[in-house]
Amino acid sequence: MVVWRGAGTMLATMVTSGALALAMQAASQPPQTLQQRFDAASKAAAEGRCAEAITAFEAVEATPTGRRGIVGAAINVRKGGCLILRGEPEAGEATIRKGLPVLERAGDEFKGDVRAAYLQLAASARRRLDYASAITDAERALALSEALARIQPLLMLAALKRFDGDGAAERHAFEASSLAGPDATPDLRARIGTEHGRVLLNAGRTEEAYAELRKSLTAQGGLTLRTTLSEVATRGDLALAADMTGDREAARKYLAYTGAGRISEAPFTSAAVFEAPPCGLPGGPTRDDHAIIEFGLHEKGWVAYAEPIYVTGGRSKALAFAQAVLGWSWSAESASKVPAFYRAATRIELRCTEAGDRLSLLAPLNRAVAEWLELQCAAPIDPLTPDARLLLEMQRAIDSTTATPSMRLQAALWLATSPLIDAKASRGPINAAETLARTLEAPVVVHARIAIQRAILENDGARGFREAARALLAQPDYAGDPMTAATLRLETARSRARSKPPEDAARLIDAVVADDRLEPTRPLRINALLQRADLAAGAGDVAKAQQSIAATGLTAQQCAVIGVAPAARGHAISYPEEAINMGFEGWVRLEFDVTAKGRATNQRALMAYPPRMFSASADEMARAMWFSASHRPDTEVACSATQQTISFRMP
């Protein structure tokens, strides 16, 4: 016991002595000057230690001197750059622009800071696809650059202008090559050559592009098993150039060395939000346009960046394609299954869709709920925000102690209906939505939408859902509301991929058509007329079918927007031999029209991975597809712009 007490006393004495020594040493050192603290923060920023740098800059800002003049401006510019790198581009850009005017007036001493700031602003604008702003800032950086320092802004400008068709992009690439000279490092020569090759590809000079890209590959050391992202990009460009010049064997070889088509089970097809841009908008793509878009996938499920590599058309079309990709979302679980290498950069072939905004049977209820929530002062959800990013916001809002009940209800409904989370995880939000709706004394349509969503979540098959929908329809409140009653009847009556309509489908549909509380032009009533036409024609009552079609006032093509698309009945898989020989796997999302007899026509590849590998085979397969027949007396087309994804997996 004495020994332990003595040891403890000795240890305590040693600790106390050490602490005193450290305290005396600290006391003997003078405190850091403001300049030293600023320099330490700047060093951390330059080395990429942004969290440390931001904290240090803010400590300097807290002093009177740190908020004023050149010091304050320099802090804003350097801290803003770190905010951008940390994933806060809006705050970062605003902070940089706050300090830039002061540093520009300070002269040559801060010329390097100003140049770097404009390059950061240009890169940030490029990432959000604001090419006009990016070009303005990159040109300002170029004006502040001399000799070899001009190469970086020149290459950025070549990339930003590669779709413009006015020769400016090629001039920028040529100047960068001239400045680099024959003594440039292989990596720099490859980087310049790859960008020049992309410019030539988009100018339609494919043979020249192919030659330039082969030089870049040589500078990188040729086709080796090393696969850095820059090397993969050059090989991907070469695969595209070779394919466009008709050298398909070389195209497949280059593509194989990118690693594309090697992801088992094609996890990219599991996206919850995966839409192509619409055709025909002003300045946007047309049916005949296509693009190759490169994108990165954040581990939480949103698209981190999207860059157009090649497009048939100008800059506005390129940006429309890339903007659509920025809106894609995956669940965090699905995103995590994609290997990090493919999340960093993947390319996809893309065309615009002619489908327009498809309206589900639940669309009228969804719109009514959103309008009521807005009246309760719940802020509208920004449609441009990717769902995967919204997921985090909604998860915080539902448990927030400061959010209003209407905001929490909005979050609960969003989570309960989101394809980003599974049915089990949706139970909490759907329960919360029910409680909040009662608290707010919400109207029938809100309670109905929640009840229908619960029925969807708790019933996988058509039979279970139909039983749940019938039970809801038996409740007086729901039966008494025309929108709710019509939605429940049509959801119960409609045909599904693996289930025929129920025996009383005609009675359910006729009840919707006969409901005078629904306006004649309401989508639900028109949908009912289209379904009634199909059922009547199937039963041989052509007169009733024609009468129903005439009552809709629609063209046959509009069934893709309002009607229920014909249910798929089958298709055959045709795996291209060249893909089997090279071991490629992938997928294609097709878009096609369905004839009244249930055959596919006017087919084309809407999306394809890997680019230009399976598109032709998918087109051939579409010709063998068949669907449920529809009644359209005035045209062969029953439904336009139907979409279906086909996966190609090695046998």
Shared domain check, 194 and 93: yes
Q: Is residue 377 part of a domain?
A: no
Contact 447, 485 (CB under 8 A): no
pLDDT of residue 554: 64
Residue at 291 is within a domain = yes
Domain limits for position 580: 568-648
pLDDT of residue 214: 97
Q: Are 310 and 291 in contact (CB under 8 A)?
A: yes
**Of residues 257, 228, 255, 260, the one with CA closest to residue 244:** 255
User: Which segment of 65-79, 82-96, 470-484 scores lowest on mean pLDDT?
Assistant: 65-79
Query: pLDDT class for 310, splitting at 50, 70, 90?
Result: very high
Does 300 reside within a domain? yes
What global pTM score does this model have?
0.82
pLDDT digits (tens, 9 = 90+) for 92-118: 999 999 999 999 999 888 999 999 999
**Four-residue CA torsion sign, 45, 47, 51, 52:** negative
- Residues 46, 195: one domain? yes
* 70 in the same domain as 175: yes
User: Do 173 and 195 contact (CB within 8 A), yes or no?
Assistant: yes
What are 128-175's pLDDT values in tens digits?
999 999 999 999 999 999 999 999 999 999 999 999 999 999 999 999
Q: Let me know whether 188 and 313 are in one domain.
A: no
- Asked whether residue 161 is assigned to any structural domain, the reply reads yes
Q: Residue 627 belongs to a domain with what CATH number?
A: 3.30.2420.10
Residue 409's CB is within 10 A of a number of other CB atoms, namely: 29
Instruction: Report the first-to-last Cα separation within the chain, whole angstroms.
Output: 76
CB atoms within 10 A of CB 125: 21
Report yes or no on 412 lying in a domain: no
Q: Give residue 591's pLDDT.
A: 81
* 383: pLDDT strictly greater than 80: no
Amino acid, single-letter form, for residue 480: G
Q: Cis link prior to 267 (omega < 30° from 0)? A: no
**What pLDDT does residue 543 have?**
76
Distance in angstroms (rounded) separating the CA atoms of residues 25 and 14: 16
Instruction: Tell me: do 306 and 160 sit in the same domain.
Output: no
Residue 595 burial class via C-beta count within 10 angstroms: exposed 0-12, middle 13-18, buried 19 and up: buried
Kindly indicate the confidence band of residue 198, based on its pLDDT and cuts at 50, 70 and 90: very high
Q: Is the model more confident about 521 or about 622? A: 622
Contacts of 198 (CB under 8 A, 6+ apart): 159, 162, 209, 237, 309, 310
Task: Flag whether pLDDT at 615 surpasses 70.
Answer: yes
Per-residue pLDDT at 27: 47
Q: What are the backbone dihedrals phi and psi of residue 592, each rounded to the nearest 5 degrees, phi first?
A: -160, 165
Structural domain contains residue 441: no
- Confidence (pLDDT) at 359: 64
Tell me how many domains the chain contains.
3
Most confident of 263-267, 293-297, 419-423, 612-616: 293-297
Radius of gyration of the chain from its Cα atoms, rounded to whole angstroms = 31
178 and 112 together in one domain = yes
Last residue of a domain, one of 217, 237, 259: 217
Of the candidates 312, 333, 350, which is a domain's last residue? 350
Q: Which is nearest to 588 in space by CA: 328, 321, 348? A: 348
Question: Do 191 and 287 belong to one domain?
Answer: no
Task: Verify that 170 and 312 share a domain, yes or no.
Answer: no
User: Which residue, among 218, 226, 238, has the nearest Cα to 292 in the 3D structure?
Assistant: 238
Q: State how far the Cα of 268 lies from the Cα of 589, in Å rounded to an integer.
A: 12
Q: What is the CATH number of the domain that holds 56?
A: 1.25.40.10
CA distances from 609 to 167, 336, 345, 453, 593 (A): 31, 19, 13, 33, 22
Q: Helix or strand or coil: residue 429? A: helix
- Of the segments 184-193, 416-425, 508-517, 552-561, which one has the largest average pLDDT value? 184-193
**In the numeric block, which tokens belong to residue 311?**
């497009």
Q: Predicted confidence band at 22 (pLDDT cuts at 50, 70, 90)?
A: very low
Are 293 and 166 within one domain? Answer: no
Query: Residues for the chain: how many in total?
Result: 651
Buried b (16+ CB within 10 A) or exposed e, 212-232: bbbbbbebbeeeeeeeeeebb
Model pLDDT, residue 179: 96
Give domain status of residue 502, yes or no: no
Query: What pLDDT is stored for residue 646 in this prediction?
Result: 77
Instruction: Please give the sequence-ordered ranges of beta strands (E in DSSP) within 252-385, or none if there are none.
Output: 291-297, 303-311, 346-350
* Mean pLDDT, rounded, for 497-509: 84
Regarding whether 59 and 206 lie in a shared domain, the answer is: yes
pLDDT at 592: 76
Q: Which of 313, 332, 350 is the last residue of a domain?
A: 350
pLDDT of residue 19: 44
The whole-angstrom separation of Cα 179 and Cα 201 is: 23
C-alpha dihedral (553, 559, 561, 562), degrees to nearest 10: 60
Q: Do both 65 and 198 map to the same domain?
A: yes
Percent of all residues in the chain with a pLDDT value above 70, rounded to a whole number: 84
Residue 67 lies in a domain: yes
User: 277 and 190 in one domain?
Assistant: no
Phi-psi region of 637 (alpha: psi -120 to 50; beta: other; left: phi over 0): beta
| Helix, coil or strand: residue 627 | strand
585-599 pLDDT tens trace: 888 888 877 665 666
CA–CA separation, 553 and 529 (whole Å): 10
Inter-residue contact 596 to 566 (CB < 8 Å) = no
> What local confidence, expressed as pLDDT, does residue 355 receive?
77
**Helices 69-85 & 50-61 angle (0-180, nearest 10):** 150
Q: Which of 54-58, 526-530, 609-613 has the highest mean pLDDT?
A: 54-58
CA-CA distance, 429 to 412, in Å (whole number)? 5
